[in-house]
Amino acid sequence: MIPVIALVGRPNVGKSTLFNRLTRTRDALVADFPGLTRDRKYGRAELEGHEFIVIDTGGIDGTEEGVETRMAGQSLLAIEEADIVFFMVDGRSGLIPADKGIAQHLRNRKKATYLLVNKTDGVDPDSAIADFYSLGLGEIHAIAASHGRGIIQLIERVMAPFITIEKPESALTEEQLNASYWLEQEKQHHEEEPEDDFNPQDLPIKLAIVGRPNVGKSTLTNRILGEERVVVYDMPGTTRDSIYIPMVRGEREYVLIDTAGVRKRGKVTETVEKFSVIKTLKAIEDSNVVLLVIDARDGISDQDLSLLGFILNSGRSLVIVVNKWDGMKPEDRNQLKDMLNLRLGFIDFARVHFISALRGSGVGDLFTSVQEAYDCSTKRVNTSLLTRIMQMAEEEHQPPLVRGRRVKLKYAHAGGYNPPIVVIHGNQVAELTDTYKRYLMNYFRRSLKVMGTPIRIQFKEGDNPFAGKRNSLTPNQMRKRKRLQSHLKKK
Asked if residue 215 belongs to a known ligand binding site, the reply is yes
Residue in 83, 86, 73 with CA at minimum distance from that of residue 8: 86
Helix, strand and coil content of the chain, in percent to the nearest 5, comes to 40, 20, 40
**Which amino acid is located at 265 in the chain?**
R
Asked if residue 368 belongs to a known ligand binding site, the reply is no
Asked if residue 326 belongs to a known ligand binding site, the reply is yes
Asked if residue 16 belongs to a known ligand binding site, the reply is yes
Asked if residue 334 belongs to a known ligand binding site, the reply is no
Asked if residue 260 belongs to a known ligand binding site, the reply is yes
Look at residue 398 and give its three-state secondary structure. Answer: coil
Asked if residue 323 belongs to a known ligand binding site, the reply is yes
Asked if residue 261 belongs to a known ligand binding site, the reply is yes
Asked if residue 59 belongs to a known ligand binding site, the reply is yes
Asked if residue 399 belongs to a known ligand binding site, the reply is no
DSSP per-residue codes, 152-201: HHHHHHHHGGG----PPPPPPPGGGGSHHHHHHHHHHHHHTS------GG
CB 151 within 8 A of CB 141: no
How many other CB atoms are found less than 10 A from the CB of residue 346? 8
Asked if residue 101 belongs to a known ligand binding site, the reply is no
Asked if residue 213 belongs to a known ligand binding site, the reply is yes
Asked if residue 122 belongs to a known ligand binding site, the reply is no
Asked if residue 15 belongs to a known ligand binding site, the reply is yes
- Separation of alpha carbons 139 and 87, rounded Å: 12
Asked if residue 258 belongs to a known ligand binding site, the reply is yes
Look at residue 438 and give its three-state secondary structure. Answer: helix
Q: Give the count of alpha carbons within 13 A of 253, CB side only.
A: 7
CB 147 within 8 A of CB 110: no
Asked if residue 56 belongs to a known ligand binding site, the reply is yes
| Strand ranges inside 400-483, DSSP E | 401-402, 405-406, 408-416, 421-427, 456-460
- Separation of alpha carbons 133 and 103, rounded Å: 11
Asked if residue 182 belongs to a known ligand binding site, the reply is no
Asked if residue 222 belongs to a known ligand binding site, the reply is no
Asked if residue 218 belongs to a known ligand binding site, the reply is yes
In this structure, is the dihedral angle defined by the CA atoms of residues 215, 221, 226 and 232, taken in order, positive or negative? Answer: negative
Asked if residue 262 belongs to a known ligand binding site, the reply is yes
Asked if residue 142 belongs to a known ligand binding site, the reply is no
Residue in 337, 243, 246, 327 with CA at minimum distance from that of residue 294: 337
Asked if residue 9 belongs to a known ligand binding site, the reply is yes
Asked if residue 12 belongs to a known ligand binding site, the reply is yes
**Which amino acid is located at 253 in the chain?**
E
Asked if residue 168 belongs to a known ligand binding site, the reply is no
Asked if residue 126 belongs to a known ligand binding site, the reply is no
Asked if residue 217 belongs to a known ligand binding site, the reply is yes
Q: Which residues are annotated as a binding site?
A: 9-16, 56-60, 118-121, 211-218, 258-262, 323-326
Q: Which residues are annotated as a binding site for GTP?
A: 9-16, 56-60, 118-121, 211-218, 258-262, 323-326
